């Protein structure tokens, strides 16, 4: 899943793809590098992010979604891989999701797990699109504060995230969303400390045991910057552009522990790492269409 942020304030690439033509070109580049899903978002969910209106979110994403839908996508390899990538809309607003679906989106990626907008679950159930439900402590603006401003706290982060995801899965199914259409995301970095994030990755198998595909997004996140800074004896988290090795490491570990979808900024190097890791693990990663591994 390639990340396409159409925002001025995302932590990693904010402002780079506000122009629709730049965003569409980046989408084409990510698909050429191996992205199977394009995740388009018009509202930053970084820690401390302020919300934007639905109107502004639509103003940002609709031209990009329409441009992606209008592209003449070329099939990869022998043509067995679909020419058109799947498109995900990263939003918690039903109004945005509805317009995005009309513009060709196949997936609703809701970081609130259908809690922010009561109309969202009905829309997903009626539209027939897939959805991703993510765990987050609170909301983006306050998720790293925790109760009383003392930071995120859990008795057992994996047990609590699992219970939350199971509850949201049941809620969606009871509301008419087919279970086979639901993916789950533990929300790495969304109301978690470095230790929480690492424990979630280490025990990811306990979440994959729920039985739904797991989406994992660690790409360039702050906890990687802090780990790398500690390893180098630096006082401040390393810069975003230095976090690719840590992103690759966490994605390989997530794959080994059962992740199905890896949400990343740097598609080509991460996909290459996953292909090698999958071959080592027994070929569980989807090979590029038209290729055959013989040695």
The yes-or-no verdict on residue 35 having pLDDT over 60 is: yes
Helix (H) or strand (E) holding 55: helix 54-70
Comparing 1-10, 24-33, 113-122, 128-137, the range with the smallest average pLDDT is 1-10
The two three-digit tokens of residue 78, written as one number: 């022998």
pLDDT at 284 (0 to 100): 57
pLDDT at 148 (0 to 100): 55
The two three-digit tokens of residue 250, written as one number: 């966490």
pLDDT at 73 (0 to 100): 80
288 or 188: which carries more pLDDT confidence? Answer: 188
Strands in the chain per DSSP E: 2-5, 37-41, 86-90, 107-110, 130-134, 182-185, 215-216, 261-262
What does pTM read for this prediction?
A: 0.89
28 included as an active-site residue: no
Q: Grade residue 11 by pLDDT with cuts at 50, 70 and 90.
A: low
Give the Cα separation of 46 and 233 in Å (integer).
26
The full length of the chain comes to 295
pLDDT at 282 (0 to 100): 85
288 included as an active-site residue: no
List, in order of start, the domains of the chain with CATH numbers.
Answer: 2-278 (3.20.20.20)
Give the Cα separation of 219 and 240 in Å (integer).
10
Strands in 148-271 per DSSP E: 182-185, 215-216, 261-262
What values do phi and psi take at 2, rounded to 5?
-90, 135
Q: Grade residue 15 by pLDDT with cuts at 50, 70 and 90.
A: low
**Residue range 198-208, pLDDT digits in tens:** 999 999 999 99
The yes-or-no verdict on residue 102 having pLDDT over 70 is: yes
**Residue range 210-259, pLDDT digits in tens:** 999 999 999 999 999 999 999 999 999 999 999 999 999 999 999 999 99
49 or 19: which carries more pLDDT confidence? Answer: 19
Which listed residue (60, 162, 263, 271) is catalytic? 263
Which listed residue (221, 226, 243, 271) is catalytic? 221
Share above pLDDT 70 across residues of the chain, in percent, rounded to a whole number: 85
Nearest to 164 by CA among 142, 128, 138: 138
Half-sphere exposure of 45 (CA within 13 A, CB side): 26
Pairing of strands 130-134, 261-262: unpaired
**Residue range 39-64, pLDDT digits in tens:** 999 998 877 677 899 999 999 999 99
The yes-or-no verdict on residue 104 having pLDDT over 90 is: yes
pLDDT at 291 (0 to 100): 34
**Residue range 64-75, pLDDT digits in tens:** 999 999 997 865
Q: Grade residue 289 by pLDDT with cuts at 50, 70 and 90.
A: very low
Give the Cα separation of 255 and 258 in Å (integer).
5
**Residue range 135-158, pLDDT digits in tens:** 998 766 555 555 455 578 899 999
Listed in sequence order, the residues at least 6 apart from 172 whose beta carbon sits closer than 8 Å to its beta carbon are 114, 121, 124, 125, 131, 133, 182
Q: Grade residue 285 by pLDDT with cuts at 50, 70 and 90.
A: low
pLDDT at 21 (0 to 100): 92
């Amino acid at each position: 899943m390639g990340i396409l942020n159409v925002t001025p304030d995302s932590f990693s690439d904010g402002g780079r793809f506000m122009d629709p033509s730049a965003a569409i070109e980046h989408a084409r580049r990510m698909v050429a590098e191996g992205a199977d899903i394009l995740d388009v978002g018009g509202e930053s969910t970084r820690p401390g992010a302020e919300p934007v209106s639905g109107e502004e979110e639509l103003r940002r994403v609709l031209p990009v979604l329409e441009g992606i839908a209008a592209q003449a996508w070329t099939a990869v390899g022998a043509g067995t891989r679909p020419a058109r990538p799947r498109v995900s809309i990263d939003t918690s607003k039903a109004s945005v999701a509805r317009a995005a679906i009309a513009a060709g989106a196949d997936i609703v990626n809701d970081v609130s797990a259908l809690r922010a907008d009561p109309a969202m679950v009905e829309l997903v159930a009626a539209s027939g699109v897939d959805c991703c439900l993510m765990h987050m402590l609170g909301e983006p603006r306050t998720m790293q504060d925790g109760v009383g401003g003392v930071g995120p706290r859990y008795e057992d982060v994996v047990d609590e995230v699992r219970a939350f995801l199971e509850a949201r899965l049941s809620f969606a199914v009871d509301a008419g969303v087919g279970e086979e259409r639901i993916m789950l995301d533990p929300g790495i970095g969304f109301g978690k400390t470095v230790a929480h994030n690492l424990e979630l990755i280490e025990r990811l198998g306990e979440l994959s045991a729920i039985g739904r595909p797991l989406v994992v997004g660690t790409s360039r996140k702050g906890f990687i910057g802090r780990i790398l800074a500690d390893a180098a004896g630096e006082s401040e988290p390393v810069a975003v552009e230095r976090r690719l090795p840590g992103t690759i490491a966490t994605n390989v570990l997530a794959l080994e522990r059962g992740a199905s979808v890896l949400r990343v900024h740097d598609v080509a190097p991460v996909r290459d790492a996953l292909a090698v890791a999958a071959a080592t693990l027994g070929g569980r990663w989807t090979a590029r269409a038209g290729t055959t591994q013989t040695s």
